[in-house]
Structure formats: structure tokens, C-alpha cells
Amino acid sequence: MPKITVDGKVIEAKDRQMVLQACLDAGVALPQYCYHPGLSIPASCRICLVEVEGIPKLVPSCQTPVRDGMVVYSKSSKAIANQKAVMEYLLINHPLDCPVCDQAGECYLQDYSYEYGRSQSRFEEDKQKKPKKDVGENILLYNDRCIMCTRCVRFTREVSGTSELYVDGRGSKEEIDIFPGKPLNNKLASNVVDLCPVGALLDKDFLFKQRVWLLKQAPSISPVDAGGENIFLEYNEGIIYRIKPRYNAEVNTWWISDDTRYSYKAVHSENRLTKPMRTQYGTQVETDYAGAIEHADSALKELVKTNGAGSTYAMLSPMMANEEAYLLATYIRSIDPQAVLVLGPTPSSGADEVFKNPANGKVTFTIKAEKVPNAAGIRRVIEKLGGPKATFEDFTKAESAELKKLKGGWIVGGYLSAWLPTEVPALFKKGLRIVQDILPTSLSGSCDVLLPAAAWAEKDGSWENFAGKIQPFLAAVPPPDGARREGDVYYKLLGRTGMYNAEDVRGEMGEPFAQIPLPDLETLAPAPEFIEL
């Protein structure tokens, strides 16, 4: 383990690590634009140059491997002079349009200008003006603001492997561009917006929607597939404005898919169910939430009384949190000890989408084929509780004696898009149907009791991804008026006091759920072990 001294502080580095990585790992801040731990190192921005004892010229810290006993100065007069010069050069042609720039507030150029730059520009000539370009379905490019760090170009070449972006020209005429008619539309494309250290690459979806310093972050998990990508929901005053990736070395590293990024739209859909309903004389009528819950409870109890044990089922949706599935299953089994637990439909796109780096063939990102986040978790909950269970296919066919006995049950939806399969199970058309869902379906329009539920962004819980990793997520916004979190409904049904608390429920559920730590908000994305040269 080589030891290096940075500005008088001794740091332990890993073998073959670069000076910049070692510093970042040890919490020593060095400025950086082009360097990104997930991409190759071009050492082109030159702001990270440091002075090293024994080397007459400044060296790029991102590209200089550590050596035992190395003495590094990042605040020597030479290093500071370089930082100032780089900032001045970058700002020569950079427009001063921070007030209308979406990146303002999370802009490296702003931060470093404050920290390392000058307060005034000495440049009196006209700034170069470069065009704005529409380069992809979700992405705008403001070439004026670009500082040519080429992070985005390297991303499309090394991570998505699609190479849509390129550098046009050279020198002061350099511009990022796409080949005419070949847009940046791959499934990982919007990651370039996160990568851009300045406001050059912009998300059309977020453009001019909100100033970033007003946004608050809630750690969450991607609801669109079984990969369990870690995300931040960024919200303000009860509205989610965007989703950003959250670093997790074991799951999604620095990236998320575009499906994940724009999944929040379903949360604020105009079609959200917000009116609890119950059937009276064959038609649905609006009711109050407490009444609907009571009605559901008494109807279920009545059903079991007349038809005996084993006449009810609960369809646990793979969109539910493990805690909610556990509570619902506990509730229905308290009424009917032989209730059948069914895992809801798990739509699949057929095959995983795998992204590779064409240079070395390494897999960089995988979008899972299973388009629900928690099928594995629900299976685990059903397994843990034991008793009668059925797959959705068997439930649809209803051939076994056990399933033929079913007279009614509790159906949870919660999917972000239409979920009822083309072949609707016979049990969804007759018998007692208590439905909890967020978006309207033919089932929600015909069921006996309708309880509008909460989307994943509106509640706490945990999901298990395809690899068996159970990850917690936290609520960002409250459910819309008239909808209630599933957990609260089950608490009421189970006669528990207080509000639904995911952590308490996890403790009650036992291993492996009890030991899941909440995401640590203080942990910044660390650099990987080392990047192979």
C-alpha cells in the first residue's frame, strides 16, 4: 500500500491507483472536469494538474499513478496559477447565462469558478457563438456552454457502446455533435446529461421546470425492472421533477436506464385513482375511505363464514413492497387461514438488454427483461409465510380443486402501466373482488371495493432485485388526495395503532428483511478500485 503526502496530509492509496482517485477516496478535494471514475482517462481538461516533488512540470493527477513516498502539492503557487489559468480559458467563450441555465446550482464550472477562478473576466473581445442542437429524443445540446471534457463522447463509446456522439473539428472550433440523422436515442442516452459537468447537455423533460437548489432528494429504487437500479427521486412541494442515478457498485454503478429516469411520470398521471368506491345494487358508488375499508373487511369475513376456509385469495403485486405483501398476507390469513397467495403478473420483454464496451467486450450495463421490481421479494414473502399458494398462470386457469374453491379475494395492482393480461382470470370477473390500484383498469371499474393506493414514490418499503439483493426505498411525496398507502390500510385492518412503518415491519418479518440498512445519504459515489490503463 503506497503512502503519499498531499498538501502535508498522508494518504494511503491502493496499488496502481491514480493520484486523483486516491485523493477522492481519502476525502481530499481536487478539481476535475473530464475525469469520471466510470470512464477512460483522457487528461484533457487540465484543471486537476498538481505539483509533484521531483518532477519539474505539473502533472495531471487523474493520470499519474501513485508511488510510495510521493509528495503532492495541489495548493502550491504553481498549481493555483494553473487552476486560475484553466478557469480563465474555459470561461473565455462560456456564456454568462447562469440565470437561465438548468445546470446552475449543480455546475462544476460555477463551483470551480468560485473556488479557483477570478472574480472578473479580462476578455474584452466577442465570445464565440456556437449553435444549439437537438441531438436526441430527450436531449438538447447547447454547444455554447460546452467545455469539451468529452465525458459524453466517452460514455457513448465505452458504456452504451453506441458511439452516437463525436467531436467535430478541433482546437477552438471543436464541437460535440451527432452524425446527421443518427440521433442519440439509446436506452442509456440520458446519462450523458448527468455526466455533463456544465449545462451543455440538457434533459428536455426537465428543461426550465425547476431550479435545482429547490429540489430535495429521496433515495429510491427503480420501479421499471428487476434490476433494482438505485436512484434519487428529486422533488419539491410534493411533485417529483426528475430522477437521478444513485451510485451502487453492486447494482447499477453510476448509470440508470431511460425507462427508470422517466418512470416518475406515472406518479403524477392525471388518471390516478383517487376515489374509493364500493358496489351497491350492482353499480359502483363513491364512498369514504374508512367506509370502504370497513366494507371490504366485513365482506371478506362474510365470504369466509359462508364458504369456509380456503375460499379466498390475495393477489400480491410484484409492485408491492415486501412489507406490504407481508401485512396483506398476514391480514387475509387471519380471516382465512387457508387463503391462497398469488404472485401477480410479471410482464417480461423477452430478453435482457446488455450493453458492452466494444473495445474490450466487457458488459457495462444490463436492463433486465422482467419489467417489475419485486417479483423475487414477493416470492420470498409467500415462501416464508407458507400455506397455499399459486402462480398467476395456474390462478388464471383455475384447474386444481384448491383454486376452484375460490370465491373472492384481495387484488393489488400498483403497476405503472396497463397490467391486466389479455386473458383475464375468471376470478377477476366474478365473486368478491377488493382492488387496490393506482391507475384505472377494467377491473377497477367493476370491482366490489376499490381502494386507491400509493405509487412507490409515495411510500417506504423494500424490494428484492433479480440477484436477491433487498434494497429499501423511501417516500418522496405524499399520495394524492383520496389515495392511501397500502401499509396504512393494512395497519387499520390488522387493528394496529399508529402509521405504517416499514422498518418496524421488516423487523417483525425476520431474516433476511430485518437487517436491511437504510441508504446512507452521506456516502458519495466512491472511485472504483482502479481503472485499467
3-state secondary structure of 369: coil
Nearer to other proteins by Cβ, of 169 and 350: the residue is 169
* DSSP SS3 for 486: helix
166 lines the binding site for other proteins (CB under 8 A): yes
Between 140 and 426, whose beta carbon lies closer to other proteins?
A: 140
Stretch touching other proteins by CB under 8 A, among 83-91, 180-188, 225-233, 298-306: 180-188
Nearest C-alpha neighbor of 172 from the set 87, 60, 83, 89: 89
178 lies in the binding site for other proteins (CB under 8 A) = yes
With CB under 8 A as the rule, give the number of residues binding other proteins: 26
Does the protein bind other proteins through residue 205 (CB under 8 A)? no
Point out which span in 108-116, 161-169, 370-378, 512-520 binds other proteins (CB under 8 A).
161-169
Separation between Cα atoms, residue 85 and residue 299, nearest integer Å: 75
Sole window of 130-138, 239-247, 434-442, 454-462 interacting with other proteins (rule: CB under 8 A): 130-138
Q: Applying CB under 8 A, does 169 fall inside the site for other proteins? A: yes
| Pairing relationship of beta strands 175-178 and 165-168 according to DSSP bridges | antiparallel
Q: Is residue 187 involved in binding other proteins (CB under 8 A)?
A: no
Q: Is 258 in the site for other proteins (CB under 8 A)?
A: no
Rounded least distance, CB 129 to other proteins, Å: 7
Cα 16 to the center of its chain, rounded Å = 32
Residue in 503, 484, 457 with CA at minimum distance from that of residue 268? 457
Strand order in the sheet with 49-52: 9-12, 3-6, 71-73, 49-52, 59-60
Q: Which residues of 460-473 are buried (b: 16+ CB within 10 A; e: fewer)?
A: bbbbbbbeeebbbb
Nearer to other proteins, 170 or 430 (CB): 170
Residue 386 found at the interface with other proteins (CB under 8 A): no
Identity of the residue, 145 or 157, whose beta carbon is nearer to other proteins in the bound complex: 157
Work out whether 183 is an interface residue with other proteins (CB under 8 A): yes
CB of residue 157 vs other proteins: minimum separation in angstroms?
8
Question: Helix H segments across 386-457?
Answer: 392-397, 401-404
CB of 189 to other proteins, least distance (A): 12
Question: Quick check: 296 binds other proteins (CB under 8 A)?
Answer: no
- Rounded distance between C-alpha atoms, residue 149 and residue 161, angstroms: 19
Out of 165, 198, 266, 505, the only residue in the binding site for other proteins (CB under 8 A) is: 165
3-state secondary structure at position 347: coil
188 is an interface residue for other proteins by CB under 8 A: no
Under the binding rule (CB under 8 A), the answer on residue 97 touching other proteins is no
Query: How far apart, in whole angstroms, are the C-alpha atoms of residue 58 and residue 43?
Result: 12
Query: Is the bond leading into 512 cis (omega within 30 degrees of zero)?
Result: yes
Nearest approach, Cβ of 236 to other proteins (angstroms)?
25
The amino acid sitting at 446 is: S
Site for other proteins in 352-381 (CB under 8 A): none
129 in contact with other proteins (CB under 8 A): yes
Supply φ then ψ for residue 252, to 5 degrees.
-115, 5
CB 265, min distance to other proteins, A = 22
Our measurement of the distance from residue 459's CA atom to the centroid of its chain's CA atoms, rounded to an integer in Å, reads: 15
Cell numbers describing residue 200: 451543455
Please state the closest distance from residue 181 (CB atom) to other proteins, in A: 5
Contact footprint for other proteins (CB under 8 A): 129, 131-137, 140, 157, 162-170, 177-183
